[in-house]
Structure 1
Amino acid sequence: MLTPNDSSSFENQLSPRQDLTFNSLQALFDQQGLPFSPPSSQFGILQFSNFDLLVSDQCPYTIKCAVFKGTDQDEFLDRQEFTGSLAAQFQQVYAFLEKHNPVESQIKGLYREDRPAYPKQALREALMNAIIHRDYSNPASSLINLYTDRVEFISFGGLMPGISLEDIQLGLSVCRNKRLADLFYQLKLVESYGTGLARIKSAYKGSRLAPQILAAPSSFKVVLPHYQAAVKAASKPVKKAVTPAPSPSPTPKPKARATGNEETVLAFGKEHGEFIRSDIEELLGVSPATATRLLRQMENSGLVLKRGKAKAIRYRISENS
């Protein structure tokens, strides 16, 4: 089951923890009626890889889910952080999404049509994408945010080298964590490789509002629109565009584009609200001087706002970020 590999990828590097257990994973194999074979030692020495860590009960990577009232993050309705084996997290997070995916009805002619707020296939594939394709060299949690009009899946790790967003849109796929994908396929959690985003798009076929796929240098986001929001958009009459008379206006200042560690800080700030410099030191594993320099750069670029002085300085994400 947990097979060795000679690749130098993150999955196959030596795990920082060696006291691993696989109780949750074995339970999933038992549910599927599959034989479970834990790692075996060679010459009396057993060394676990990062892949083993990802699927173990001691997996340090988590998924944070939040449900908000409205279309912004002003008020929480529910939140939960999921831990443990990634295979078990997949089942637990999907159950959470199902709980917050109410079935809504429409009358069509003489018949009532029941439809969930979000296509189940799209939720499943977006969640799978966030787990299998994320970059686990970054310790930050994956984020799933549910609003009244959409659900967002945010994971760390931009596009793989040599792959563009246009390639992704055309159906090309390069798997960052192949052993993890193989395991999910073995557990019948994945039907086939490289078809997840195509399945998401297919789930919204015929809808005016389509899923959004966004990529930054160090993060990836999939946005699924609420079905009723899509229905309202489709039924809204289209007004004829009227071209206004040209009028002089100042040239807007171009919006700063976050890169690298800035994306990580933005995701952290959007989740936690205000934060201090030491939060960024811990998040990125950098020195106080490096964290200060990064935050000053982000402040100058308009990505973060600062208030207070000396030890009372706090930061928050700019509304324009």
Structure 2
Amino acid sequence: MLGISIANNNRLASLFYRLMLIEAYGTGVPKIFDSYKKEKVKPRIETSDNAFKITLPNRNEPGIDTQLNRSEKAIVELLRQEGRIKRKEVEKQLGISQSMAGRIVRDMVDKEILDVRGQGKNTEYLLKD
């Protein structure tokens, strides 16, 4: 499935092609959609009479709620309200065990969704900027 591309500046487009800065004309849109195959949120295309716009979801943004499981979404929502939380609050809010709460917040830290402040009982979790 190849698209159609019309260059505004043929000389510049030809130069970029020879320098391997661009690929064959009309291959970009299919490659974009291929790269989002495994994502839950897909690119959106809007068209008008003489143009189109593709909106690409940010796959690198850790706060995209569609990429989080139910427990992680609840923790993110709690953090949006409170600003910072402790593991004990996660246990209480989600009604889960200490070990489960610890595992969830550690996973979220590993996924770079949360930042950690402090140690031991004073450990707090914040949403990563």
TM-score by length of 2: 0.49
Larger helix percent: 2
Instruction: Identify the structure with the greater strand proportion.
Output: 1
Q: TM-score, normalised by structure 1?
A: 0.20
